Amino acid sequence: MNDYRQIPSVDLIINSPEASPIIANFGRSQVIDAIRAVQESLRQIDKLDRQSCTAEAILIRANLHLQKNFKATLIPLINASGVILHTNLGRAPLSDDSIEAMATIASNYNSLEFDLSTGKRGSRTVHAEKILMQLTGAEAALVVNNNASAILVILSTLAYRRRVIISRSQLIEIGGGFRIPDVMKQSGAKLIEIGTTNRTHLNDYSTALQEPAALVMRAHHSNFKIIGFFAEPNLAEICEAAHTAGVPVLDDLGSGTFLDTAQYGLQHEPTISESLSAGADLVCFSGDKLLGGPQAGIIIGRKQLIDKIKKHPLVRAIRADKLCLAGLTATLNHYLRDEAEQEIPIWKMISRSAEDIQLSAHAWQRTIQHGDVINCRSTIGGGSMPEETLPSYALSFTVRNPDQFVKQLRQFPIPIIARIENEKVLLDPRTVFSVQEEVLCNQIKTLFPE
């Protein structure tokens, strides 16, 4: 029978010299709880040995327990997958200016809702609105926490218990199983589907508009393509039909871009300004996709409509916080200065030449002394520009078990995310920052002992 008296008391262990550095790291109460957990586990052992019951041994186990509990789950990593806007990896990394702006606001009291001219309470909606109006020519703007929220608050404000007309080809599902029809129904709007899955005609809109409607909504196919026997009126035609009936148009761009993607060898993605020029009364889009900023839902358009939206009670629940507004404003300033390609990481990646990427891949190969440099394609990702890719190069590894190899990459102190293609492990330099390259190479070298 075990003699549990050989397990030292909590007081003896916590007051030992070896406990001091652990207490300094985790706090006294946390260390005491960890010691008790180790003591309890020892009492469950059929046969105790004296070595495992010493105060030092218990503290070692308690320390390991605390390190595991305190280990962050949201950590930086190296994206070598070649997917530029990787939803699971946080989408758009931010520019240095955006990071600095967020850090400055985070570490200081600030004018989030304070009017410095009057000394009274102000509105947080003004911080990004002016620059959005300047960039787009819109009458007004509003920033909320994401694009799904933007759609929800627009419909809740303007179309509660009223008809919203949308083509069946646009009843899309976005990431995580969230569906546009479900968001629309949650708002209380009455969904009016027109056309068919693959073909919707202008006459379908005209017919539906013969009855009163609150909105006509278009959802851009930002995360999928329909090919073959397909037809859909363009936005300008939809706007003309809706405005003839006195009904405003909401254009949900999903991703949204200020730059013409065609100049990078990609298919042209409708720009934010093009939606307004086509006649859309409201345009909404994400902040952390092709815009390249923090997560946000951005609404621009007619002042009369946005003023109504700003007054809806839901706005408080989905409002953007101070960090988002600071980072977004700094990101938007890059577009005003015509420096997006030079300063916004995703546009630096998109505009990077295949030849430059090839040089990086060869440099990695020389450092690691393993692998082959091959042609590949980088992906835009993030629910943006489906099937659109960019020519690139990758460092390719032919290994016995590719799945096990990429698992080892993920278990490094700074995890590396690669992709498997044709039973080969590929590392694409397009999505790896230059400051990460040395760490990447040094970590991978450990998998190939001399």
Looking at per-residue confidence, does 385 or 60 come out higher?
Answer: 60
Predicted confidence at residue 225, as pLDDT, reads: 64
Predicted confidence at residue 187, as pLDDT, reads: 87
* Same-domain check for residues 258 and 125: yes
Give the structural domain span for 401.
78-86+346-445
* Same-domain check for residues 120 and 221: yes
Mean pLDDT taken over the chain:
92
H-type alpha helices, 72-197? 96-106, 126-136, 147-158, 180-186
Q: How many CB atoms lie within 10 A of CB 50?
A: 9
Instruction: For residue 377, give the H/E element and its range.
Output: strand 372-381
- Are 300 and 132 in contact, with CB atoms under 8 Å apart? yes
Predicted confidence at residue 44, as pLDDT, reads: 80
**pLDDT higher than 80, residue 149:** yes
Q: 128 pLDDT band (50/70/90 cuts)?
A: very high
* Least confident window among 129-133, 158-162, 228-232, 394-398: 228-232
Mean pLDDT across 73-79: 95
* Same-domain check for residues 289 and 372: no
Strands lying side by side in the sheet with 424-427: 83-85, 372-381, 389-397, 424-427, 419-421
Mean pLDDT across 252-275: 92
* Same-domain check for residues 322 and 365: no
- Are 143 and 296 in contact, with CB atoms under 8 Å apart? yes
**pLDDT higher than 60, residue 2:** no
Whole-number Å distance between alpha carbons of 156 and 316:
13
Mean pLDDT across 241-262: 94
CATH number of the domain residue 381 falls in? 3.90.1150.180
* Same-domain check for residues 187 and 105: yes
* Same-domain check for residues 198 and 245: yes
Domain annotation covers residue 450? no
Which among 317, 343, 369 is the end of a domain? 343
* Same-domain check for residues 181 and 211: yes
Mean pLDDT across 33-43: 91
Mean pLDDT across 172-182: 69
What is the DSSP code (8-state) at residue 291? T
* Same-domain check for residues 399 and 319: no
Q: How many CB atoms lie within 10 A of CB 300?
A: 27
Of 270, 199, 196, 203, nearest to 232 by C-alpha is 199
**pLDDT higher than 80, residue 119:** yes
* Same-domain check for residues 127 and 34: no
Reported pTM: 0.90
DSSP, residue by residue, 243-298: HHTT--EEEEEET-BSS-GGGGTSPPPPBHHHHHHTT-SEEEEESSSTT-SSS-EE
Question: Please, how many CA atoms are within 13 Å of residue 252, restricted to the half-sphere of its CB?
Answer: 29
Model pLDDT for residues 279-335, shown as the tens digit of each residue: 999 999 999 999 999 999 999 999 999 999 999 999 999 999 999 999 999 999 999
Mean pLDDT across 117-133: 93
Predicted confidence at residue 381, as pLDDT, reads: 85
- Are 374 and 401 in contact, with CB atoms under 8 Å apart? no
Count of structural domains, the chain: 3
- Are 405 and 385 in contact, with CB atoms under 8 Å apart? no
- Are 311 and 125 in contact, with CB atoms under 8 Å apart? no
